[in-house]
Chain A
Amino acid sequence: MSVDRAQAERRRERDREAWRARNEASRERQQRGVSRALRDRDVSLLDLVDRLLDGGVVIHGDITLAVADVDLVYVGLRALISSVEAIERETGVSITAAGPSLKASAL
C-alpha cells in the first residue's frame, strides 16, 4: 500500500517536473517574442498586419469557406486597422497607400 503511494507520489512529482519544464519553455518563447515586439511595438504591429493579411500562402478556389471570406476578415479587423492608422499618423510611416492588405481603410 505504502509502496503504491510512494510510486504515485513519484509519478506526480515527475508530472509536475515536466509541466514546469514545459511552462518554462513556453514562457521563454513568449518572452523572446515579446521582447522582440517591444523593440518597436508599433512598427511590429504594422509589419504583422502587412504580413498576415498580405503575405503567406493563399488557398485558391471554392474550398475556401464563406466564413473565411476576406471581406469578413477585414470587417472583423476594422478596429485594428483604425488603431494602425493612428500609429501611422504618429510615426509618419505610411502604409495605407501601399498594400492591398489595407484596403480595409476604405471601409
Chain B
Amino acid sequence: MSGSVLYVYAVTGSFPGSLAVAAGLRGAPLRAIASGPVAAIYSEHGIAPEPDEELLWSHEQIVEELMEGSTILPMRFGSTVESPEALADWLKERREEFSVSLKRVRGAVELSVRAQLPAAAKVDEKARPAWRSQPGTAYLLERARRQRRSEDAAARIHRPLAALARRSMPKAGAGDRGAFKAAYLVDEESVEAFGDRVGELNSTLVDTKVSCTGPWPPYSFVAEAQR
C-alpha cells in the first residue's frame, strides 16, 4: 500500500449506480468507502496525477457522472489521502456534517452567473457646487457613487435570480471591480426557468452581459457557511 495515493472525488449518501461503469482519473477504477450513511468515492494511483487543464475537465466529468442519479458533495480538485483507513477515519469524523450538507443539496444543482457591470457615467464637473469639487471630497463622492451604482446593478441581476434559487452565494471581491459573480443552488426542475430569466435580464439590462454556466455539481454549497 505504501507509495500509493487515494484520489477522492466526492462524498455521497448512496452508492451511485454509475460507479461500476464510470472510471476515475487516468482510467483507474472507482471505489467507494462507507461510514454509516455516507460514502466517499475515490480511485487509487501509484502517484498523484499531474494537474493540468485536461485533468481538471476529466475530474469534472467524473464528478458529473457521479452526480447522475445520486446526491453528492464534490471534493476540491486535488484532494488525496494516503490510505483507505485515513479516508474512513476522516469520513467518520465528519459524517454528521456531510449528512446535513447532502440533505441541503439534494435535488438541486449549482448555476454560475457572471456579469460585467456597466461603468458609471461621468459626472458633469461644471454642474457641481464648488464645495463638492474639492479634490478630496470629489474623490470620495465619486467613489461612493460608483459603489452605489455597482451595488444597484448587482442587485438588479441578483434579486430576480435569487428568487428562483434555493440558496445563493455571492463570490467574494466580485462587486469591487465592476464585476458580478455569484453561485445559485437551483432545484433541478427550475434550471430551465433560471436560464430563461438570465435571457430576460440580458434583453432588459442595457450594457450588461449576463452569462450563466451549469449545471455544476454543488461546489459552492458543500458547507453551511462560507468556508
Q: Do the beta carbons of A93 and B219 come within 8 Å of each other?
A: no
Residue B174 lies at the interface, judged by CB distance under 8 Å to chain A: yes
Residue A8 lies at the interface, judged by CB distance under 8 Å to chain B: no
Residue A83 lies at the interface, judged by CB distance under 8 Å to chain B: yes
Which residues of B sit under 8 angstroms from A76, Cβ to Cβ?
50-52
Which residues of A sit under 8 angstroms from B86, Cβ to Cβ?
63
Neighbour of A43 across the interface among B57, B173, B211, CB < 8 A: B211
Interface residues of A in 16-31 (CB under 8 A from B): 22, 25-26, 29-30
The smallest C-beta distance from A101 to any residue of chain B, in angstroms, reads: 9
Give a binary string over A31-62; 1 marks a CB under 8 Å from any B CB, 0 the rest.
00100100110011111111111111111010
Which of A57, A61, A95 gathers most chain B CB within 10 Å?
A57
Report the contact-size class of chain B (Cβ under 8 Å from the partner): 35 or more
Neighbour of B64 across the interface among A33, A45, A70, CB < 8 A: A33
State which of B73-81, B126-134, B144-152, B200-208 sits at the interface with chain A.
Answer: B73-81
Q: Do the beta carbons of B81 and A59 come within 8 Å of each other?
A: yes
Which residues of A sit under 8 angstroms from B47, Cβ to Cβ?
67
State which of B27-35, B159-167, B175-183 sits at the interface with chain A.
Answer: B175-183
Q: Do the beta carbons of B216 and A51 come within 8 Å of each other?
A: yes
Q: Give the docked Cα–Cα distance between A58 and B227 (Å).
A: 9
Which residues of B sit under 8 angstroms from A48, Cβ to Cβ?
56-57, 60
Neighbour of B114 across the interface among A57, A58, A93, CB < 8 A: A93
Residue A97 lies at the interface, judged by CB distance under 8 Å to chain B: yes
The smallest C-beta distance from A63 to any residue of chain B, in angstroms, reads: 4
Q: Do the beta carbons of A22 and B81 come within 8 Å of each other?
A: no
Q: Give the docked Cα–Cα distance between A82 and B178 (Å).
A: 22
Residue A68 lies at the interface, judged by CB distance under 8 Å to chain B: yes
Report the contact-size class of chain A (Cβ under 8 Å from the partner): 35 or more
Q: Do the beta carbons of B82 and A65 come within 8 Å of each other?
A: yes
Q: Give the docked Cα–Cα distance between A36 and B114 (Å).
A: 16
The smallest C-beta distance from A32 to any residue of chain B, in angstroms, reads: 9
Neighbour of A56 across the interface among B65, B177, B211, B222, CB < 8 A: B222
Q: Give the docked Cα–Cα distance between A47 and B183 (Å).
A: 10
Give a binary string over B191-216; 1 marks a CB under 8 Å from any A CB, 0 the rest.
00000000000000000000101101
Q: Give the docked Cα–Cα distance between A83 and B52 (Å).
A: 12
Chain B residue at smallest Cβ distance from A43: B211
Q: Which 7 A-B pairs have the closest CB atoms?
A: A55-B219, A56-B76, A52-B77, A51-B219, A76-B51, A68-B80, A63-B86
Not counting A49-B56, A95-B181, a sample of 14 additional A-B residue pairs whose C-beta atoms are within 8 angstroms of each other reads A30-B61, A33-B61, A39-B213, A47-B214, A51-B110, A52-B56, A52-B76, A52-B77, A56-B75, A56-B77, A57-B73, A57-B223, A73-B77, A98-B179
* Interface positions of B (Cβ within 8 A of A): 5, 8, 11, 21, 47-48, 50-53, 56-57, 59-61, 64-65, 68, 73-82, 86-87, 89-90, 98, 110, 112, 114, 116, 171-174, 176-179, 181, 211, 213-214, 216-217, 219-220, 222-223, 227
Question: Can you list 5 A-B pairs with a CB-CB distance of less than 8 A?
Answer: A29-B68, A47-B112, A56-B222, A73-B78, A98-B172
